[in-house]
Amino acid sequence: MSELLWNLSSFIIALGILVAVHEYGHFWVARRCGVIVEKFSIGFGKSIWSRKGKDGTEYNISMIPLGGYVKMLDERVDEVPEELKQHAFNNRPLWQRSAIVAAGPIANFIFAVVACWLAFMIGVTALKPVVGHIDNNSIFSQAGIESGVELKAISGIKTSDWEAVNMAIVSHIGDESMTVTYSDENNIGVDVTTTLDLSDWKFDPEKDSPMVSLGFLPYRPALTLNVANVSANSAAEKSGLLVGDRLVSVNGHQLTEWQEMVEAIQANPNKAIELIVLRDNEQTTLTLTPDSKEIADGKIIGFAGVSPIFEEWPEGYRYEKQYGPIVAFEKAVEKTGNIIDLTLTMTKKLFTGDVALNNLSGPISIAKGAGTTAEYGLVSFLGFLALISVNLGIINLLPLPVLDGGHLLFFAIEGITRKPVSERVQEIGYKVGTAMIMSLMAVALFNDFMRL
C-alpha cells in the first residue's frame, strides 16, 4: 500500500508539473498576442481549488490530474461582445493562432532542457560502459565482442555512460543491424567497429533489459559474501542476519560466491535453510525461511531481502557528471536533442509496425517510473521529468485534430487555401482523432494491467 501511495503521489506531482508547463506555454503566448484567457486549469472534472486573478483569468485545479486546458475567448464557443472580439482567439492572425497552439509542446521541450540542466548542475555519478559478462552464442558473442571492452559508440552515437548505451540500443528496435564501436584496454587508442546482426533479436521490455536481450551485462565489481543490507520485516531480518555478517555456509555447503546463496534461497521458498555466518570473528548458526514470490513465467521462487557488499570499483570506472552553468546547458541541450531523436524514432517505428503495440505504456507504468526515480533522488526524478516532457511535447504535435498538431495541420491548410477549414471537416476530424487517441490509450492501459 505504501508503494502504491508513493507511486501515485510521484505520478500526480510529475504530471501536474508537466501539464502546468504545457498549458502555461499556451497561456503565456496567448496573453502576449492579446487573447483573453478565461480559464487556466490543471486537471479535468470537478474543481478542488479555484481563484480569479487580477488579470481576470480563473486559475483552477481539478480532481482528475490527467491533463489540463486553457480556455480562451472564442466566438466559435461563446458569444463575444463587440468590444472584445479583437481579443478572441479565432480573430487573431493565423501566425498568432499557430504560435499559441505550438507554444505548449515547445514549453515541454524547453522544460526538458531546464530539467537536464539542473541535473547536470547538481551532478550525478556515472559509470564507464565497460562490458562485463557475455552469454555464449548471444548476439554480442557472435559479433566477436569480449568482456572488458569499453563501448565508445553505437551506430555513430557516442556512449559515454550506460544511460547513453541503453538509449542507443533501444533506438534500434525493429532494425536489421547495429554497429558497435569499442576499445580494448589491451590496445589503448585503437577503436574497433563491428556490425551486429539483429535479424534474430528478440527484445521483450517486460522481461529483459536491452543489454540482457543482446546477451551481455555491464561490468560490476565482484560480490563478496559480506552482508551490506537487510530489508525491514524480511525473511533475512527475521532469521537474525545483521549487516556486516559474512556468510560461511548454507545447509552444510561451504560458500565460495554470493550466487550460491542466491540459488539456495530461490530454490527453497517457505522452506527453512541453515546458515552459518561469521560475526565478530565467531561463527553463528541461523535458520532462514525464505518468503515466496511468483515471477513472470509463473514459477515460484524464494527471496530473503538481503544484499551483499561489492568489491571496490577499479580506478576510473566511476566518474562525476557535474558541470558549471554554461557547460551544463550545452550538455542539457545535447541530451534533450537525443531524447527527442529517440522518441521520434520510436514513434515512427510504432506506426510502421517495427515496434509492437505491446511496448506502449500508460499511466500505471508512468506512475511506477515516477515513484522509482523519485526514490533514487532529485537528479533521477529530473531525468524522468525531462523524458516524459519530451514525449508529451511530441505526442501533442502528432497531426491528430484533438491534439495541438491537429490544430496546426488545420492552420497549415488554411495558410495554403487562404480560408479556414470548414466546421464540418473539423468536427469529423475531431471524432476520428478522438477515436484514435482513445484506442491507443486503451491499448496502453491494457499493457499496463498485463504488466502488474
- Work out the pLDDT band at 400, boundaries 50, 70, 90: confident
Q: Three-class SS of residue 246?
A: strand
Task: Look up residue 261 and give its three cell numbers.
Answer: 546463496
Query: What are the tens digits of pLDDT across the range 186-201?
Result: 666 678 889 988 888 8
Nearest-5° angle of CA 358, CA 362, CA 364? 115
Q: What percent of the chain has pLDDT over 90?
A: 28
* Domain 124-221+312-321 class in CATH: mainly beta
User: Does position 364 have pLDDT exceeding 70, yes or no?
Assistant: no
User: Does position 25 have pLDDT exceeding 60, yes or no?
Assistant: yes
Find where cell 556490425 sits: 195
CA–CA separation, 39 and 73 (whole Å): 9
Q: Three-class SS of residue 141?
A: helix
Q: Please, what is the average pLDDT of the chain?
A: 84
User: Is the separation of the CB atoms in 65 and 42 below 8 Å?
Assistant: yes
DSSP letter at 137 equals: T
Give me the residues paired with residue 196 across strands. Answer: 178
Best CA proximity match to 11, nearest among 383, 364, 384, 370: 370
User: Does position 415 have pLDDT exceeding 60, yes or no?
Assistant: yes
- Work out the pLDDT band at 271, boundaries 50, 70, 90: very high
DSSP letter at 130 equals: B
Query: What are the tens digits of pLDDT across the range 49-59?
Result: 889 888 889 99
User: Does position 365 have pLDDT exceeding 70, yes or no?
Assistant: no
CA–CA separation, 170 and 448 (whole Å): 20
23 is catalytic: yes
User: Does position 447 have pLDDT exceeding 60, yes or no?
Assistant: no
Q: Hey, which CATH number is domain 223-310, 3.50.40.10, 3.40.50.300, 3.30.565.10, 2.30.42.10?
A: 2.30.42.10
Question: How many residues appear in the chain?
Answer: 452
Task: Look up residue 401 and give its three cell numbers.
Answer: 485534430
User: Is the separation of the CB atoms in 202 and 213 below 8 Å?
Assistant: yes
Give me the residues paired with residue 39 across strands. Answer: 58, 71
CA–CA separation, 407 and 401 (whole Å): 6
Give the type of residue at 349. Answer: K
Q: One fold for both 124-221+312-321 and 223-310?
A: yes
The pTM score is 0.79
User: Does position 342 have pLDDT exceeding 60, yes or no?
Assistant: yes
Which residue would you say has higher pLDDT here, 451 or 140? 140
User: Does position 451 have pLDDT exceeding 60, yes or no?
Assistant: no
Which of 3, 23, 206, 260 is an active site residue? 23
User: Does position 395 have pLDDT exceeding 60, yes or no?
Assistant: yes
Residue 203's H or E segment, with its range, is: none
Quote the pLDDT of residue 27: 94
User: Does position 15 have pLDDT exceeding 70, yes or no?
Assistant: yes
Q: Where are the domains of the chain?
A: 92-123+332-452, 124-221+312-321, 223-310
Task: Look up residue 299 and give its three cell numbers.
Answer: 514459477
User: Is the separation of the CB atoms in 71 and 41 below 8 Å?
Assistant: yes
CA–CA separation, 214 and 204 (whole Å): 11
CA–CA separation, 386 and 18 (whole Å): 9
Quote the pLDDT of residue 272: 92
